[in-house]
Copies of this chain bind each other. A is one copy, B any other.
Amino acid sequence: MAKIRDTILQIEPYVPGRSTKEIAEEYHLKESEIVKLGSNENPLGPSPKAVKAVKRETKNMHRYPESGLDDLKKAIADYSGTSPNQIIVGGDGADEIIDLLGKTFMETGTEFIVPIPSYMYYEYTLRPYGARPAYAKWDMEKNTVDTKSVIESINDKTRLIFLCTPNNPTGGLIPKDDIIKILESTSALVVVDEAYFEFARVSNIELLEDYENLLILRTFSKAMGLAGMRIGYGISNPRIIDYMHRVKPVFSLTRLSHVAALATLSDKDYIKRSVEFSIKSREYLYSRLLQMDKIRVLRSYANYLLVDIRETGMNAGKLTDELLKRGVIVRDCTSFKGLDEYWIRVSVGTMKENDKFIEALGDIIE
């Protein structure tokens, strides 16, 4: 048998997520009736301009994508107030950028810091590089990072520090002053994950001018409504971006994703509507959840809400199963390190979807 690396032998087997079709079959539901509030997708759907651009480009599906992506880097630079040579585009969403960070910075014996609970994919992606996670704390009471715990976790093996703001799954923000404190405590690369920044109307882009150990991570999967097209980007100083390009897959962004991203960035009206609607939907859902007994909801600046359900007497496995029976998918957060089994995360939906979720939840817990 071919020799598999020891690091890989220790990784847990892969369990694929169930498709909507499988869920529909198991719970005897119509696929079209299922309300999907589990993945923080955009309730408005994609930009109509993106749909049009993609349909037009289908005739070229047999042609390789472009590798330089100069026009897209230019458009992202305009959107973010940076320069094209500060930008690297990923063809598997921001997840590809995380993988490139692994290739560029991580090897056996190195460490990365994550204040937990946070996005679990950092760990999933970096462990195969032989890197170890060092867990710092997310302060669940204040719903922000415990800066001291991050700084105390830094040692000479630290290569990357992940700061997700708004944080997935808690929705809380990290104040700029805390990011600065962390940037100034280390020469390791601080990765500020702004996947959801549009919904908070706050960014840390301008810190790039003063700190060369900063990389901002962003995605087209949320406010841009293109989760299925797998487009993400990293912004940092040109030297780091150049090294990351040396290990980047050359053609990973599909031709259709390329034109979809360009068309969406040009659709200012869609972006505005998309952000405004998700914020409105979040505030509505928050106010409805606040009114429910046995439910505690955290203030969120993203397009989802984290909900503490321990008072219901059910754990998240049981509650999400009950919601599925009623046709609503939310995220059971038990697998997030740093959370116990009594949390669910619900994404903002259309108003109709929000009401269907609230109704189903009320039906279960009252």
Task: Give the copy number.
Answer: 2
Residue of B14, B212, B239 near A248 (CB, 8 A) is: B14
Q: Which residues on B sit within 8 Å (CB–CB) of A2? A: 105, 159, 187-189, 212-213, 240
B61 touches A19 (CB 8 A): no
Q: What is the minimal beta-carbon distance from A80 to any residue of chain B, in angstroms? A: 20
| A1-59 CB contacts (< 8 Å) to partner B | 1-5, 7-9, 11-14, 16-19, 36, 39, 41-42, 44-46, 50-51, 54-55, 58-59
Closest B residue to A264 by beta carbon equals: B61
B1 touches A64 (CB 8 A): no
A226 within 8 A of B: yes
Binding-face segment, A66-74, A195-203, A292-300, A333-341: A66-74
A45 touches B67 (CB 8 A): no
Q: Which residues on B sit within 8 Å (CB–CB) of A13? A: 242, 245-246
Residue of B61, B159, B189, B239 near A46 (CB, 8 A) is: B61
Residue of B66, B108, B125, B256 near A19 (CB, 8 A) is: B66
**Size range of the chain A interface in the assembly:** 35 or more
A170–B200 CA distance with the chains assembled, in angstroms: 55
B105 touches A4 (CB 8 A): yes
B68 touches A17 (CB 8 A): yes
A99 within 8 A of B: yes
A96 within 8 A of B: yes
B17 touches A67 (CB 8 A): yes
B91 touches A63 (CB 8 A): no
A246 touches B187 (CB 8 A): no
* Beyond known contacts A12-B246, A92-B249, A107-B108: 12 more, CB 8 A cutoff: A3-B105, A4-B243, A16-B67, A16-B70, A39-B64, A54-B256, A61-B227, A91-B92, A95-B250, A96-B249, A128-B246, A256-B256
The residues of A with any CB-CB pair to B shorter than 8 Å are 1-5, 7-9, 11-14, 16-19, 36, 39, 41-42, 44-46, 50-51, 54-55, 58-70, 91-93, 95-96, 99, 103-108, 121, 124-125, 128, 130, 159, 187-189, 212-213, 221, 225-230, 239-240, 242-243, 245-252, 254-257, 260
